[in-house]
Amino acid sequence: MSNINNYVFHFGQELTPEQKTVFQKYGVIQFKNFVDKATVQQFLSEIQQVEEYLLASGIQKVNGIPLKFGLNTDGKKFIQRIAFTSQYSKVLSAFLKEERLAQLAALLHPYEGRVGENEKDGLVLNHYVNTPDSEYKQLGWHTDSPRDIFLGSRIMPMLNVGLHLDDYAFAKGGLRVLAGTHNQGLFKLLFRKKYFVDNDPDPKEIGFNIEAGDLTVHDGRLWHRVQRSPFFGEESRRRVMYIPIVTGAYKPKHANSPTPFYHKLALPKLEQYREALRWSNVKRKGLKPAGIQSTPLVSNTINQ
């Protein structure tokens, strides 16, 4: 295990050639202090207001994407994953329109990228805490790409931009990646590890020393996971907002957007991805998957 302190940068007004080269090679890059501490506090307070509003209104889904609930350190219900968070906050929505974020799309060159405020899951808040009743303490190995398989055969390039809102030194756990795996072929993208069930550290993985306000950018095809904290309760709290930078046709979601079928079936993530893998085989080999009807599951119901 190691960290990538050698590849930590500060963001000016636009990306430098060195930053682009590092990203092309590793599929991940970290920018220190992308926003200052006062802004972190402001964002946390906005998020808290959004969460209170969603809880008070009994909202279960935003634009078809279910919220994830858990019990906080004080035993009270809280939300561990919110999609389209900026829909409820002018401050967060304004942040997504900042030119500096738009500049990151250059990492997708030669594709044209845009900040997907209303696409995929929009601005996602992930809130991890290590308590017995927390639903979200860690996340197994995965890439962010296979959902695209449901849309058609091509995986569209995308970036996941993480704005970190808590200090999280490497030893506390947090994001781990296999640098360079964004350049793998489709087979490795699907089968390098068992999607979401494998939580084992990899000898080649790298992690980060994160301070609140830092930004990480990873390619959607990069293998990554979230290491559970060795600490419990308050010390393990980790809040990070993810912003998708997407390519291809504009596919906004709205209040009446259907829930992707893997959410509807309430299958564990593992099962969702097994389905994805079976379908990818169908496409590759032109075979019918065992036990799955030939009626297409694609496109109509899944739009992310």
Interacting residues toward ligand AKG by CB under 6 A: 126, 139, 144, 162, 175, 224, 226, 240
Look at residue 240 and give the partner it binds from ligand AKG, Fe ion, none, a contact being a CB closer than 5 to 8 Å depending on partner kind. Answer: ligand AKG
Smallest distance, ligand AKG to C-beta of residue 111, A: 20
* CA 35 to chain centroid: 19
Nearer to ligand AKG, 224 or 237 (CB): 224
45 versus 123: smaller Cβ distance to Fe ion:
123
Q: Residue 207 is which amino acid?
A: G
Tell me which of ligand AKG, Fe ion, none is bound by residue 173, counting a contact when its beta carbon lies within the kind-specific cut-off of 5 to 8 angstroms.
Answer: none
The CA distance from 6 to 108, in Å, is: 22
Provide, rounded to whole angstroms, the least separation between the CB of residue 226 and Fe ion.
8
Residue 126 near which of Fe ion, ligand AKG, none (CB within 5-8 Å, type-dependent): ligand AKG
* Residue 227 near residue 174 (C-beta atoms within 8 A): yes
Question: In the block, which residue shows the tokens 């590890």?
Answer: 193
- Cβ neighbourhood burial of 76 (10 Å; 0-12, 13-18, 19+): exposed
Cβ atoms 270, 196 nearer than 8 A? yes
Q: What are the phi and psi torsion angles at 25 (to 5°)?
A: -75, -45
Closest residue to Fe ion: CB criterion? 144
Q: Considering beta carbons, is residue 113 or 207 the nearer one to ligand AKG?
A: 207
Helix (H) or strand (E) holding 130: strand 124-130
Residues in contact with Fe ion by CB under 5 A are 144
In the complex with Fe ion, which residue's Cβ is closer, 10 or 65?
Answer: 65
- Tell the smallest beta-carbon distance from residue 176 to ligand AKG (Å): 9
Minimum CB separation of residue 218 from Fe ion in Å reads 8
The site partner of 155 among ligand AKG, Fe ion, none (C-beta below 5 to 8 Å per kind) is: none
3-state class (DSSP) for residue 79: strand
240 or 302: CB nearest Fe ion: 240
| For the chain, counts of helices (H) and of strands (E) | 7, 16
